[in-house]
Amino acid sequence: MKKSLIKILMAVGIFIVVYLVLRYYGITEHIRLENVPKIKTWVESFGVIAPLVYIGLYLISTIFFLPGSPVTVLAGFVFGPLWGVFYASIASIISVACAFLVARYVARDLVEGWVRDNAQFRKIDTQVEEQGWRILMFTRLVPIFPFNLQNYAYGLTSIRFSTFVFISAIFMLPGTTAWVLLGGAFVSGEGNVWKTMLYLGIAGVFMLALSFAPNILRKYQAKNSD
């Protein structure tokens, strides 16, 4: 009991200190969609290590529950649509993996306190036992549970780390691609309206497909439960 309390206090202390540092430098305030052009200039100022800075920013936003969509869109602004999807995908995989490991091995008791009274988490925990990776696929495609919190929540379930990372990597990709292309369309269009419209069109296709995902997955689940 005493060891658990010490671990909780240490975890809380670390989170508070890092959060205060981020707040002091304005990072928590500036990660918003309207500030993406300003963040773009800041990331680009790092030159060849800009991808590493971007990945670090993505990791911070995931670990500390900061908005994720501005950071994803940012990849398109900084690196263009193709490289943007690549770097955003790498960053997202690293970030969700870190959050999962924090929940499972570092701050388990703290995370349990976050989700203990959450009915959605209890449902996910049960369905992981029953359906395994399929429920992870469903929650990655359908935002029924906050993205940043579910990364921690899965660390408390019985799902294997390798399965979590592999399935997350696959089923986060459509959403990542859509958001990155939205940002990349305006950067890579280079004044070419048709090129800009092409990227926006592709992003729209991905978003439309994601909007149909809930119904398709529910029908699939209903069919398999019969």
Give tens-digit pLDDT for 115-152. 666 666 777 777 777 777 878 888 787 766 777 788 88
Region 201-210: mean pLDDT is 68
Question: Around Cβ 148, how many Cβ atoms within 10 Å?
Answer: 19
Residues 92 and 55: beta-carbon distance below 8 Å? no
Nearest to 165 by CA among 130, 144, 145, 140: 140
Q: Is the pLDDT score of 63 beyond 80?
A: yes
> 152 or 30: whose pLDDT is higher?
152
| Distance from C-alpha of 51 to C-alpha of 113, rounded to nearest angstrom | 34
Domain borders along the chain are 2-225
Binned at pLDDT 50, 70 and 90, residue 220 comes out as low
Residues 64 and 19: beta-carbon distance below 8 Å? yes
Region 33-41: mean pLDDT is 80
Extract the tokens encoding 138: 């469903």
Rg (CA), the chain: 19
| Distance from C-alpha of 179 to C-alpha of 184, rounded to nearest angstrom | 9
Residues 180 and 75: beta-carbon distance below 8 Å? yes
Q: Cα 23 to chain center, whole Å? A: 20
> 171 or 68: whose pLDDT is higher?
171
Binned at pLDDT 50, 70 and 90, residue 219 comes out as low
Instruction: Give the CA diameter of the chain.
Output: 64
Q: What is the pTM of this model?
A: 0.77
pLDDT at 185: 73
Residues 114 and 12: beta-carbon distance below 8 Å? no
Q: Residue with structure tokens 């978003």?
A: 207
| Distance from C-alpha of 89 to C-alpha of 172, rounded to nearest angstrom | 8
**Which tens digits make up the pLDDT trace of 81-90?**
889 999 999 9
Extract the tokens encoding 225: 């439960």
pLDDT at 95: 92
Q: Is the pLDDT score of 113 beyond 70?
A: no
Question: Around Cβ 104, how many Cβ atoms within 10 Å?
Answer: 18
> 163 or 196: whose pLDDT is higher?
163
| Distance from C-alpha of 215 to C-alpha of 207, rounded to nearest angstrom | 14
Q: Is the pLDDT score of 92 beyond 90?
A: yes
Task: List helix spans (H) across the chain.
Answer: 2-24, 27-30, 36-44, 50-63, 69-101, 108-115, 119-131, 133-141, 147-154, 161-188, 193-225
Region 33-51: mean pLDDT is 85
Report DSSP state, residue 44: H
Binned at pLDDT 50, 70 and 90, residue 39 comes out as confident
Region 20-48: mean pLDDT is 73
Binned at pLDDT 50, 70 and 90, residue 165 comes out as very high
Classify each residue of 182-200 as buried b or exposed e, where b means 16 or more C-beta atoms within 10 Å of its C-beta.
Answer: bbbbebbbeeeeeebebbb
Binned at pLDDT 50, 70 and 90, residue 48 comes out as very high
pLDDT at 97: 94
